[in-house]
Structure 1
Amino acid sequence: MEEALRALLLGTPAITALVDRRVNFGAHPQGEPLPALVLTTVSDREGLTLGGPDGLQQARVQIDCYAESYGATPAPSTTMPMPSSAGSRPSWPS
């Protein structure tokens, strides 16, 4: 899931215009340039049916934007449409 989400973000021109390829899970490498996005999995659960695990996974990911200063980069929330309710999928710009 991590690789697919990172690829989705890096495949969005509006995202790469802000942070280039600096999209990392867990932490941003020390000494690397900013701005950057850091993705953190905040919940992760396996799908279950009466017959046991169904092989699907549902996760929530927090996306933090780091920059040299608060006003150094536009808010990524204007670039990354988020789902309006649980279970819906975002409509990513192309």
Structure 2
Amino acid sequence: MTAIVGQRINPGVGPQNGTLPDIVVNRISGGPTYGLARSTGLIASRVQIECRAKSFSAAENLGAAVMRALKDFRGTVGDLRVTMMATGSDYAEHADDASVFRPIIDFYVWTTEPVAA
């Protein structure tokens, strides 16, 4: 994905009038998971990824690259170990003046709880 967006991967909100294409990542919801008697040690989160570009085709291509890179991803991100990642819903929208197109992809992510330092 960095071949397409460089370092333009933003948490929360992308810069207004920033260089496109870019990616905006938001954690929508999440929390610890529980078994019958106790915590499983996993955190389940819904993460939403906006793939923003100036044209519909560029936005769709970026969305497809994100899906290929993250679908079924397992590994370490910072101090978290991603144990499972699955795609949820996806949809597309655009700015009122059609200046920015953005497929929005939801992922369900299960991570281990970070180890306290």
Which TM bucket (shorter chain)?
A: 0.5 to 0.7
Q: CA 1:48–1:35 in 2, change beyond 3 Å: closer, same or farther?
A: same
- Matches of 2:21 and 2:52, distance apart in 1: 5
Q: TM-score, normalised by structure 1?
A: 0.59
- Matches of 1:32 and 1:88, distance apart in 2: 32
Total equivalences in the alignment: 72
- Matches of 2:5 and 2:20, distance apart in 1: 7
Counterparts of 1:1-94 in structure 2, within 5 Å, are 15-49=1-35, 50-51=37-38, 53-73=39-59, 75-79=61-65, 80-81=67-68, 82-83=71-72, 88-89=84-85
RMSD in angstroms over aligned alpha carbons? 2.5
- Give 1 or 2: higher strand fraction: 2
Structure 2 unaligned segments of length 5 or more: list them: 73-82, 87-117
Which SS does the other structure have where 1:71 is aligned? helix
Show structure 1 runs of 4+ deviating over 4 A. none
Q: TM-score, normalised by structure 2?
A: 0.49
